[in-house]
Structure 1
Amino acid sequence: MSDTPATPLLDTVSTPADLRTLKPEQLRQLADELRTETIAAVGMTGGHLGSGLGVVELTTAIHYVFDTPRDRLVWDVGHQCYPHKILTGRRDRIRTLRQGGGLSGFTKRSESEYDPFGAAHSSTSISAALGFAIANKLAGTPGKGIAVIGDGAMSAGMAYEAMNNAEQAGNRLVVILNDNDMSIAPPVGGLSAYLSRIVSSREFLGLRELMKKFARKLPRPFHTAARKTDEFARGMTMGGTLFEELGFYYVGPIDGHNLDHLIPVLENVRDAEEGPILVHVVTKKGKGYGPAEAAADKYHGVQKFDVITGAQAKAPPGPPQYQNVFGQQLAKEAERDPTICAITAAMPSGTGLDKFAQAFPDRCFDVGIAEQHAVTFAAGLAAQGMRPFCAIYSTFLQRAYDQVVHDVAIQNLPVRFAIDRAGLVGADGATHAGSFDVTYLATLPNFVVMAAADEAELLHMTHTCALHDSGPIAVRYPRGAGIGIDLPEQPQRLEIGKGRVVREGKTVAILSLGTRLEEALKAAEQLEAKGLSTTVADLRFAKPLDEALIRRLLTTHEVAVTIEEGAVGGLGAHVLTLASDEGLIDGGLKLRTMRLPDTFQDQDKPEVQYAAAGLDADGIVTTVLTTLRHNSATVPEGARA
């Protein structure tokens, strides 16, 4: 089957301006072709599939009705945006999704004027759309702010904070709730669509406004009763009482796959003077593609797959995934310790806690996309004597930093943080890279911060976390598979703040933190071949440092290099501080820090990203040789070439 299916109507649409020249009766065919094109593209590249398929009709309807890009459209979460990209001038590049030099898997301001706000983390859309709406209002320029929020993003408190502050935007703000798991509404049908069309019509809104003015002239008890009657009546039929209380005019629920329902309601909303307005749309993840409809979880994010069968490409058998090593070991810890529990923020399988949840359903908590709550919830559990593990991706833990500081670190509570996706993450790019956790955690008093060099070390560190009751402790580990070493039958409890030397030498010392250890050992082999005796140490701990080991290495080698998968301010900064405080640099030691560059790296294969950052074996060798050339008398002849 060709990877470019026949799409005669879609072929005539390059931008939303082209879309708006179509007749309403043509939109069904266009949506079908858009869905076919989305499936074909993601089949080639992999990526997020189910969510995008669920918003094909909604995407078509929004761009058909509203004046994008003047009306600023924010997708939340951003992985719903593949059909949007196809309709906004990027179809010719859609098969470069998530590839090096290709389109981002999320909305991205630098990519298109139709992406007014980058959205890769969730629950930010209403705040951003409110900003666009108020800015246009203050400037006296046309244009609405439109937020499409779904895929669990309404579970985060930020969405409600924005809604509570939205009334000033008036009719310039439109929130479309993409309810794709029936979390709020039951299945909807023609009656609901009819009611939604009526209550969003100009005639109804005009009559409602007239009745409100009339009610204001009545004595206060009658005025209040009239308002409550209006809200109650619509709340009973359509379930919008919560949103009404937050200041929104609620419309819905309506079938998000029925264009005959969507178009007239959105046209009414576009033209309404009432506002802000929330349109409740019910959709189905994976809509229109059988395998994705049947298994929404497995087709949320996919590898390359066969479009006909739905079979996803499988990686050849190999070492276990880091998250599964963690999850399995945590389950073993929980078998012996009934106080161990686990918390995740909408990522049970991504963090390896799905198996833990099966074994200990009463001790595993998925709190939804609510990282702030997750951390403080864990703090409360710890304060009451439980031993909580808070398993959160590095990039998402950033969202809860105040809770980490105020609720955990200051109170010195023994919350265990399992920090998944530490380091660079390949196709997800800069928004999901775990670049900053060592920097933002190791700066905090009371914290223990570990980084696993391989899957066996992760086993030991999970066990160490489970036994550590004297304060907060964190272990970071990367996305993907381990390096393939044998796992020990029994984990060891590591001594806090103690590293290990894995290779002894005399001239060069490489101080590694995390999974760059394998590249450090490769670099040592290359340096030995050039006549440079090399020590490699796995420090294990960014905090507390193994000061005795670091002191020995810095005072017995000509050049020392630290290497880590994190931003400036991490391990290297702490080693430099130690060396400075103790005067170790004064004797002429050559000390260099290797870390991620001070940029946000775009998506690519992880090995390409690390090479670009200089954090592979060749980069380490180059750094060592460059450093030694400043003192060329000590460089062996073979290393000077």
Structure 2
Amino acid sequence: MEFDNPTPGPLLAEINSPADLKKLKPEQLQDVCDELRQFIIDTVSVHGGHFGASLGVVELTTALHYVYDTPEDLLVWDVGHQAYGHKILTGRRDQFHTNRKYGGLSGFPKRTESEYDTFGVGHSSTSISAALGMAVARDLDKSDKKVVAVIGDGAMTAGLAFEAMNNAGAMNSDILVILNDNNMSIDPNVGALKEYLADITTSKTFNKMRDEVYDMLGHFKSAGDKMRKVASRLEKAMTAALTPGSLFRALGFKYYGPVDGHDVDGLRKMMEDLRDVKGPKLLHTVTVKGKGFAPAEREQTKWHASSSPFDKITGKSLAEPKNDDKTELPPKYQDVFGEALVELAAKDENIVSMTPAMPSGSSLWPMMNTFPDRAFDVGIAEQHAVTFAAGLAAEGKKPFCAIYSSFLQRGYDQLVHDVAIQKLPVVFCIDRAGLVGADGPTHHGAYDISFMRAIPNMIISSPLNEQGLRDMMYTASRYDEASWAIRYPRGRATGMDTKDKFEDIEIGKGVCLREGEGVAILSFGPIGKYAMEAADTLAEEGAHIGYYDMRFAKPLDTDLLDEICERYDHIITLEDGARMGGFGSAVAEYIGEKVKRPTLKIMGIPDRIIEHGTQRELHAEIGIDAKGILEQVRPLITVNA
């Protein structure tokens, strides 16, 4: 399907930097916003990408670059889902159609891509900490540049954001934090902070109580100076407690708002005033995620991102069917997990589950809908999710913590301190393990095998297919001697017919799927599909190699490894994870102690940052696809011949 690249509107077409934006009159800014919003819709509807978040901050983005002298003034975005307008206004309009494509623009702010991208992001809640660091550096350099951090109300739920605000308030640092409040992250926000912000934007309690205080003071005039002083202190105390933004004031910030985040002229005037206000400041803007595109406004979770072309009027998908024979597409691994969890929970009332703000991405909704008292979205709080699970396990529950590999990195201390040391049987269902595709390096699940292997009291497993995932979950639900990690990738499973029942698997045992001579491939996880493809190709050529699905990186199946070492001259390990410290390293550590051992080649993610692209493109780039395996195996077969 061919598409023409979108054409920007007349004003946007002339904006190649914020300097061009500043040439316009204030009354032209709304027209710029309209054109910018339409350009984002036009482009994403053809090429895909994150969607709703950027539409919601068009006016905010335009006002920021109009008022502040970027890149001299520093603008720090949180997460980066909402930074498309920022990219377009800062010289990347004509390259924007390459966004999230192999070799193209990153889907997130990236320091090496533009001087306007002051800090690389992809995970939430980092903007205030980074901005404070920049502000302190400015003060040390005796500069007068301004520093602005933009953070969403979802990202504000993470502890890191409040740690930074507490520090910034105590230091009285001159920074502006803009709270973009749309009541959403990817899924709807949860927690007490959400309710607090909702009260600020909807409640009339403060105005009513203030009027009552003023009325009461009027009646105290005849009571003398002492009563008036008491009443005055009462007014101040009640104002401090009830004024919108009192929480932020308590952290040392001057609070402004809430204001309409879609009134570009109002935002411009507010920011021009705030430029001259010293100290830590918070501007509370209220926006609508998906603003200007009706389907995205109605279904904000669905339209967080689009991976395929769609009709920019109706929102209907324009993707060409990939299964012309109308066969049902294989399920995604996350959905296999979600369905299996409900089945297991129906059999065991001690099973509970949690996720840090990703019930859709992790497919926890089936569990939340079926057993709402036993499934929890804890908000963007990965550290809390891990320790919360540990607390449940300490009281006899069986927690399944559904979490992305790259997000588990944020809970590493809790994994060690709160789970492993105490030998608590938490099951970590690690989604997006391995290279994830267009989200790129901030979201690749490259390191979980390596950082978990060093931790005692942990089982590390990965299934070859969906049946393996179901059986691993079942076995883990019945195991109480240690924590258990089950990792699986982003994307679709094999489409195999799964059994209606679950089966126990032997912990730490791999399986031989194909016997051969000379060369044996040992794979860990669904990446083994490439090994099967390579083995089939070689068999057609008359070469027969061994293939083993090892299933466990810890504990290793040392008995099976002993047999392989006796039988084969060459071993190749395959994993969708970092080569350093991963599954292949575990094999190397074991066979390295043998006097007579086969040669070993470790195939995995090399020791460098892998950029974005489709999963197949990235697997091919680093040589862990079927073609890359064949390139490694064929010379060994020749040597043996």
Q: TM-score scaled by structure 2?
A: 0.90
1:474 counterpart SS class? strand
Partner Cα distance (1:371, 1:168) in 2? 26
1:458 paired with 2:469, answer yes
Q: CA deviation at 1:624?
A: 2.3
The question of whether the paired residues in 1 share the 8 Å contact of 2:132 and 2:173 is answered with no
What aligned pairs does 1:36-185 form with structure 2 within 5 A after superposition? 36-150=38-152, 152-167=154-169, 170=172, 172-181=174-183, 183=194, 184-185=197-198
Is the Cα–Cα contact under 8 Å of residues 426 and 606 in structure 1 kept in the other structure? yes
1:232-271 matches, within 5 Å, as 233=239, 236-237=242-243, 239-271=244-276
Structure 2 CA distance for partners of 1:171 and 1:387, relative to 1, 3 Å:
closer
Which stretch has the larger CA shift, 27-36 or 223-232?
Answer: 223-232
Cα deviation for residue 48 of structure 1 reads 1.1
1:30-83 CA distances to partner (integer Å, 9 max, x unpaired)?
A: 101110011111111211111110000000011111111111111112111001
Residue 559 of structure 1 contacts residue 628 of structure 1 at CA under 8 Å; is this kept in 2? no
The secondary structure found in structure 2 opposite 1:369 is: coil
Partners of 1:340 and 1:363 within 8 A in 2: yes
CA contact (8 A) 1:392 1:417 kept: yes
Partner of 2:211: none
- Matched residue SS, 1:435: coil
* Residue of structure 1 equivalent to 2:435: 424
Q: Out of 557, 562, 574, which is 2:573 matched to?
A: 562
Q: How many residues align?
A: 598
Candidates 343, 349, 369, aligned match of 1:358? 369
TM-fit CA distance, 1:6? 5.4
| 1:443-522 alignment runs, 5 A limit | 443-522=454-533
CA distance in 1, matches of 2:577, 2:54: 32
After superposition, the Cα gap between the structure-2 partners of 1:554 and 1:406, relative to the gap in structure 1 and judged at 3 Å, is: same
Decide which of 592, 596, 601 is 2:605's aligned counterpart.
Answer: 596
8 A contact 2:200–2:245 mirrored in 1 = no
Select the residue among 602, 612, 617 that pairs with 1:608: 617
Q: Does 1:283 align with 2:287?
A: yes
> What's the CA shift for 1:233?
3.1
SS in 2 for 1:388: strand
User: Partner letter of residue 254 of structure 2?
Assistant: Y
Aligned pair in 2 of structure 1 residues 497, 226: CA closer, same or farther (>3 Å)?
farther
**Quick one: which of 591, 601, 616 aligns to 1:579?**
591
Change (3 A) 1:542 1:588: closer
Change (3 A) 1:588 1:386: closer
**Distance in 1 of aligned mates of 2:88 and 2:31:** 15
Contact 1:507-1:532 within 8 A present in 2 as well = no
Question: Which deviations, in whole Å up to 9, do the C-alpha atoms of 1:328-370 show, x marking residues without a partner?
Answer: 0000000010110110011001111011111011111000110
Residue 302 of structure 2 aligns to a residue whose secondary structure is: coil
User: What CA distance in whole angstroms lies between the structure 1 residues aligned with 2:123 and 2:230?
Assistant: 40
Structure 2 residue identity aligned to 1:480: G
Paired AA for residue 298 in structure 2:
A
Of 379, 382, 386, 2:390 maps to 379
| TM-superposed deviation, 1:587 | 2.3
Q: Which residue is 2:191 aligned to?
A: none
CA distance in 2: counterparts of 1:115 and 1:230, whole angstroms = 42
Q: How big is the alpha-carbon RMSD for the aligned residues of Structure 1 and Structure 2?
A: 2.3
Moved more, 615-624 or 318-327: 615-624
Q: Which amino acid aligns with 1:416?
A: V
What's the CA shift for 1:308? 1.7
Aligned-partner residue type, residue 283 of structure 1: T
Aligned mates of 2:530, 2:60 — CA distance in 1? 47
For residues 457 and 257 of structure 1, do their structure 2 counterparts lie closer, same or farther at Cα, with a shift above 3 Å needed?
same
> In structure 2, which of residues 333, 339, 350 is the aligned counterpart of residue 322 of structure 1?
333
Letter in 2 for 1:620: I
Output the TM-score relative to the length of structure 1: 0.90
In structure 2, relative to structure 1, the CA distance for the partners of 1:438 and 1:313 (3 Å cut) is farther
1:295 alignment partner in structure 2: 299
Give the secondary structure class of the aligned counterpart of 1:378.
helix
What letter is aligned with 2:239? A
8 Å CA contact 1:523–1:621 kept in 2: the answer is yes
